[in-house]
């Protein structure tokens, strides 16, 4: 294999993050779902960057929503990670890598709440290192996040291969010397790219 370490994103690589689908689990109508999405997801990128406090933002959203939706909004902020669907092909591939003693790492944008929740995911216990954005007060594609990963785990960028669903995040890694592929849900091209 060409690379010593494989770096994974979480959303839409390990688990399917579909904001509309997740919100639907907390709504009884399309109208409510659209309203909740428009308010709650408005500043999600800032949650990923850790520039907004998760609990304070939840309360802000609840204040902005009609009172009848307070319960759904509170339930969402507490339970949304339960509705991320595992991507089975990726989980099987991670197992294959671990069985071959190829270290796997996580580099993922996520709010602090998810970073804490993620301890519950069995798959992440197999990882040699886990880096979430919000605790670092940054987010991909900021080079600082990649450099934190390399520095913390003593990784050489040229020995790493990055799997992410967004081209801008792969491009940022390449600018620092780390090769990668935009993940579209197919494991075949990924295996071919790393010579697995």
Confidence of residue 119 (pLDDT cuts 50, 70, 90): confident
175 vs 120, which has greater pLDDT? Answer: 175
Instruction: Print the SS3 string covering the chain.
Output: CCCCEEEECCECCCEECCHHHHHHCCCCCHHHHHHHHHHHCCCHHHHHHCCCCHHHHHHHHHHHCCHHHHHHHHHHHHHHHHHCEECHHHHHHHHHHHHCCCCEEEEECCCHHHHHHHHHCHHHHHCCEEEECHHHCCCCCCHHHHHHHHHHCCCCHHHEEEEECCHHHHHHHHHCCCEEEECCCCHHHHHHHHCC
Give pLDDT tens digits for 63-75: 999 999 999 999 9
Segment 141-168 mean pLDDT: 98
Segment 171-195 mean pLDDT: 96
Q: Using alpha carbons, select from 164, 113, 163 the residue that is nearest to residue 134.
A: 113
Domain 5-16+85-194 has CATH 3.40.50.1000: yes
Residue-level pLDDT at 1: 84
Confidence of residue 48 (pLDDT cuts 50, 70, 90): very high
Residues 6+ apart with CB under 8 A from 38: none
Give pLDDT tens digits for 74-99: 999 999 999 999 999 999 999 999 99
- Token pair, residue 138, equals 């940054």
Residue-level pLDDT at 174: 98
Residue 2 has pLDDT above 90, yes or no: no
Strand partners, 161: 6, 179
Where are the domains positioned within the chain?
A: 5-16+85-194, 19-83
Q: Is the pTM of this model over 0.85?
A: yes
CB atoms within 10 A of CB 118: 20
| Ramachandran class of 107: left when φ > 0, alpha when ψ lies in -120 to 50, beta otherwise | beta
Q: Is 104 exposed, middle or buried (0-12, 13-18, 19+ CB in 10 A)?
A: buried
Residue-level pLDDT at 80: 97
């Amino acid at each position: 294999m060409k690379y010593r370490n494989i770096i994974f994103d979480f959303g839409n690589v390990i688990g399917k993050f579909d904001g509309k689908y997740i919100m639907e689990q907390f709504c009884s109508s399309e109208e409510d779902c659209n309203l909740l999405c428009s308010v709650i997801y408005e500043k999600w990128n800032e949650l990923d960057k850790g520039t907004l406090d998760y609990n304070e933002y939840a309360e802000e959203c609840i204040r902005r929503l009609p009172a009848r939706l307070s319960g759904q909004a509170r339930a969402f902020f507490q339970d949304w990670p339960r509705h991320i669907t595992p991507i089975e092909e990726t989980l099987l591939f991670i197992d294959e890598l671990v069985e071959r003693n190829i270290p796997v790492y996580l580099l993922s944008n996520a709010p602090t709440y998810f970073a804490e929740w993620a301890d519950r995911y069995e798959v992440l216990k197999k990882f040699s290192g886990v880096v979430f954005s919000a605790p670092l007060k940054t987010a991909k594609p900021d080079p600082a996040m990649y450099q934190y990963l390399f520095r913390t785990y003593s990784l050489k960028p040229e020995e790493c291969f990055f799997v992410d669903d967004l081209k801008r995040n792969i491009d940022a890694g390449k600018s620092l010397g780390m090769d990668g592929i935009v993940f579209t849900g197919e494991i075949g091209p990924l295996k071919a790219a790393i010579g697995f």
